[in-house]
Amino acid sequence: MNRAVPATYVFIVSTPVLADRYKKLILHVVRAKVAKPNGNPELSPPDPDDFSGANATNERVYSEIPNIPALMVECEAAWTPLADRLRWSVAPIPDAAESWTNQVPHAAITHEGRGRISMAKFEGMPQNNNGFGLKKVDLWFDFDTAIKASANIEVFFPRDGNKHPGNTGKLPEFRTPNWFYYWASDKGGPLTHRTAGTSTLGPITIFWLYDPNLTIHGKIDGVVGGTNFVITLGPSATSTQNHDFVSPKISFPAKGGGAMLEFPEGHISTSFVRANNWEGIDCVEKVIQHEIVHATIMNNWSPNGPWWDGALFQDDDLDHLPTSHENDFGTDWNKNRTFDFYLGGNDNEIRCEIDSGNPIIPASGDWASPGKQKQYGR
């Protein structure tokens, strides 16, 4: 059978002497070329049929079935003579046990695959978020490592799964989702102030919990004037909706019959929407920042807080916002819920919603699927 001759690399193999009169030389023209994975995982695919960017071969997501999470990397080389002398490696994933189909016998430690087609398997997920991400796949011939090729993959965790190492040995009702574990800042994650245990923000200490049965995005527990608070996140935190902040100005009288105050234009709305370009990690950050504002408001009433002058500031409508501050902020000092049509709650909730803003987390730390860096299949 005639095949197109690979033209990249040349190697000469000499056979044993067949007779005293001559030697037989066999010339092999070989090359190392990676067929799978292919494309660049850091580029958005132009269309579903174009594999030059992110695709199923270079964006690899851990499977959590069965109980031990596993990542598979399919490796395939273009046809070449001496394919049985091909060798494969994938950059290690911390804390994961690596094995290969067609594993090189002496590679129990070095972890090498062999042959034109081989499959790498990584069992167990890393301890930290930075264990995911960009990984290099190398291909070479065992007789000459200069004859080589490479490709890149990106490794992701299933966002809503729960097989991260922090759940090891825990009963199902006490397990947290992968996003809750890996996005914590002390696990290499990018969420502001959110740790796996406690966070200290000035005079405030926050304990972080996850409740699989929580029917709202998040909640805070603590007392007005306190310094210790518990913020609990629920399953829907990754799909938080924000307010579009679009409405006409609304006026109401200031305390004492003074001038009409106007709530800042564009700061109130009757509907919830998803902020532009938000992903799950931004939604969770929004919930966190919203609840932190609640904690700050409650702590402001403490004896050392800015709302304490030897006695509590006046709070006519019992929304935990001082009357004088409501005048400055633009909500009604005499009405717990300035805008009856507002779906988010009373004036305290309005303050938290506005002060927490529309946080955008950089994509570089998001290795969840779905997530900011997972491009194929969106």
Q: Which two tokens stand for residue 239?
A: 């799909």
CB 331 within 8 A of CB 347: yes
| Of 172-181, 231-240, 271-280, minimum mean pLDDT range | 271-280
Q: Select the more confidently predicted residue: 59 or 269.
A: 59
What pLDDT, on the 0 to 100 scale, is given for residue 262?
Answer: 44
The answer on pLDDT for 240 being more than 90 is: no
Q: What is the pLDDT of residues 103-136, one digit of tens each?
A: 877 755 668 999 999 999 999 999 999 999 999 9
Q: How far is CA 322 from CA 43, 130, 267, 346, 349, in A?
A: 51, 44, 20, 14, 14
Q: How far is CA 178 from CA 238, 259, 356, 361, in A?
A: 12, 52, 24, 17
pLDDT band of residue 255 (cuts 50, 70, 90) is very low
Q: What is the pLDDT of residues 162-210, one digit of tens each?
A: 999 999 989 888 999 999 999 998 888 888 777 777 888 888 999 999 9
Work out the number of other CB atoms within 10 angstroms of the CB of residue 92.
13
The percent of residues in the chain predicted with pLDDT above 90, rounded, is 44
| Average pLDDT of the residues in 56-70 | 91
Residue 48's region, left for phi above 0, alpha for psi from -120 to 50, else beta, is alpha
HSE-up of residue 332 (Cα within 13 Å, Cβ side):
13
What pLDDT, on the 0 to 100 scale, is given for residue 310?
Answer: 63
Q: What is the pLDDT of residues 294-319, one digit of tens each?
A: 999 999 888 888 887 666 668 888 88
Q: How far is CA 243 from CA 13, 48, 219, 285, 360, in A?
A: 71, 33, 18, 15, 15
Residue 340 phi/psi, 5-degree rounding, is -60, -30
* 352 three-class SS: helix
Mean pLDDT for the chain?
81
Q: What is the pLDDT of residues 321-355, one digit of tens each?
A: 888 777 677 777 888 887 776 667 888 988 888 78
Q: Where are the alpha helices (DSSP H) in the chain?
A: 178-182, 280-299, 323-329, 347-356
The answer on pLDDT for 67 being more than 90 is: no
pLDDT winner (highest mean) among 28-37, 237-246, 262-271 = 28-37
Q: Select the more confidently predicted residue: 285 or 21.
A: 285
CB 272 within 8 A of CB 246: no
Residue 74 phi/psi, 5-degree rounding, is -80, 125
Amino acid at 52: S
> What are the structural domains, with CATH classification, of the chain?
33-158 (2.60.40), 191-361 (no CATH)
HSE-up of residue 144 (Cα within 13 Å, Cβ side):
11
Task: Give the separation between CA 321 and CA 41, rounded to whole angstroms.
Answer: 49
Integer distance in angstroms from the first to the last C-alpha of the chain? 43
Task: Give the separation between CA 65 and CA 328, rounded to whole angstroms.
Answer: 55
What pLDDT, on the 0 to 100 scale, is given for residue 37?
Answer: 97
